Structure 1
Amino acid sequence: MTAAPTPSLRERKKLRTRQALIDTALELFTERGFGGVTLDELCEVVEVSKRTFFRNFTSKEDVAMAPEQDLWRAFLEELETTAPDGLPLVELGRDALLAALERMADEGWARRVLLSRRLAERTPSMAAHGLQFCEATTQGALEILRRRFGLGGGDDVRPRLAVDMLIAAHHCAMAGWVDQAGGAAPPATPDLAVRLREAVAALPGSLTMSVEG
């Protein structure tokens, strides 16, 4: 296997700037509220221009939700190469998402996700942005599945349902993981992987669960 190329100095500087914007935004939004921080103030603290900000993000909502959105962007990249091995589609997606989660293993990612999630709970515009991003990610995943495996098209709703179920399982896993943190330090990222596996494993049972009146 060929090692990934080492990023150039320019690329490393761009990544550091992007990360500084994320970290500073989350700290300021948490301290002063999402509406209590202007874009100009954020750029001033990080010492970058608004032009630099918009090279990285589309809005305050975008930078505030970057930690989890980065996970899903990595998921789409992993879905391009994850071996099918005869797996059910939702399990193929699970493996791609788990591989993406391994790429989020730096020590600050879990804390950023917790700050972002808690901020979104009290910021309606972030919730709306999240829905738009979720739909765009879903469409991206469906396009990859069509291109790689010829799945979907016409009236075949199964790929869409499989992707929707994977996203639902992720939401359940993430909610439990965030609740686990409480007001303390963020739980370990591998704990989220465990919860995701459990949530995906519970999907078949949820489809056959009976309700007796």
Structure 2
Amino acid sequence: MTFRLLALALWAALAASSVHAERAANAASSLLAAEKQGLQTASAQHLQQLVTPTARGMAKVNYDRAWLASVPEPAGGEQWRCLAEALYFEARGETVKGQFAVAEVILNRVDNPNYPSSVCGVINQGTGQKYACQFTYTCDGHPEHISEKGAFDQVGKVAKVMLSGAPRKLTDGATHYHTTAVRPRWARKFPMTAEIGVHRFYRQPTRISMN
């Protein structure tokens, strides 16, 4: 494989997350500079050394507590905090798989032009009007306190992994979910894509019949 192809592969592995975008650009530039110097091949080992541990592991996510325990302690900026809090209040009682599934929905909305283009924007959409928000905990009128540190640490890791570019393969592009205890009106029109734990997941159709 040429340096150019390796550079593109490295960029794709890292730049999927804004956390690693600058590192991706710098590493790819270094590889291309080496190619200009007349070096035409590079070892896979050298490429692997340039990729951060987090980026290397994103393609091999295991949805269980044992794997999640191996993930470094979470930390991040505003978008990470918003996602971690949403997972805590919406899904902390779910399995690890269920928490990843809820995170998928939020990130699918970020990528959907019908919704805000940031994690915090998606989560806080409609907040300020009681029960008119997208995520009930943001507008139910009750103060929200993070009192279970262990649970928050776990969902914080889930948030970090997802924001680092983990594949979204649990909910088949879902943009909505609800608990099995309720049946919202929109659920009659949206195709259900998965049921994980106490949540059912749905993909918003391009067009919705009002009949």
TM over 0.5: no
Bigger share in helix: 1
| TM-score (norm: length of structure 2) | 0.24
Bigger share in strand: 2
Kindly name which structure, 1 or 2, has the bigger radius of gyration based on alpha carbons: 2
| TM-score (norm: length of structure 1) | 0.24
